[in-house]
Structure 1
């Protein structure tokens, strides 16, 4: 599943300007944070841990204006802990963003 990252990419470009190194660092920081928070979400088994991980993902998404990820985080918040469809969608988002398989 592909996600439209136009707003996310536009915000990263606005922050980095013409600095390709900074753009790569920002993309790497976002991808690294997303991977860590997704790992926490995947390991969550109780409502509290699941909600905290989903809220962290939503906060990360909001700070980078990643609208698609905000929607996915909201979906996670409305789901039961360990919901596989939510996890797969977030893994697909990360894979699409990084260009690497999940």
Structure 2
């Protein structure tokens, strides 16, 4: 699942209001938040912790208009705790996001 530049970047740009430093800070904050929840998913061994981290990812996706992250969060919600495929996809999403 690749990172999408469209709506997410537009949301960040609108929030930054033309301030490139603020844009970079918001982008970094988004990536850090996704990374934190992906890490929590990777360490989750019970349904409750897994579900909570997946719901937080879903909230981030909605807040930042990221359809790719929303799809990944939904996939996590439908998966068993510790599902390695979901975690790999989230890490790949973050890698692509940090490269762009």
Indicate the TM-score class for this superposition, using the shorter chain for normalisation. Answer: over 0.9
Partner of 1:6: 6
Equivalent residue pairs, number: 100
Partner of 1:60: 60
d(CA) in 1 for partners of 2:90 and 2:5? 13
What aligned pairs does 1:9-28 form with structure 2 within 5 A after superposition? 9-28=9-28
> Secondary structure of 1:51's partner?
helix
TM-score by length of 1: 0.91
**Structure 2 runs not aligned, ≥5 long:** none
Q: What is the Cα-based RMSD across aligned positions, in Å? A: 1.3
CA contact (8 A) 2:4 2:66 kept: no
What aligned pairs does 1:35-74 form with structure 2 within 5 A after superposition? 35-74=35-74
Structure holding more helix per residue: 2
Partner of 1:29: 29
> Secondary structure of 1:62's partner?
helix
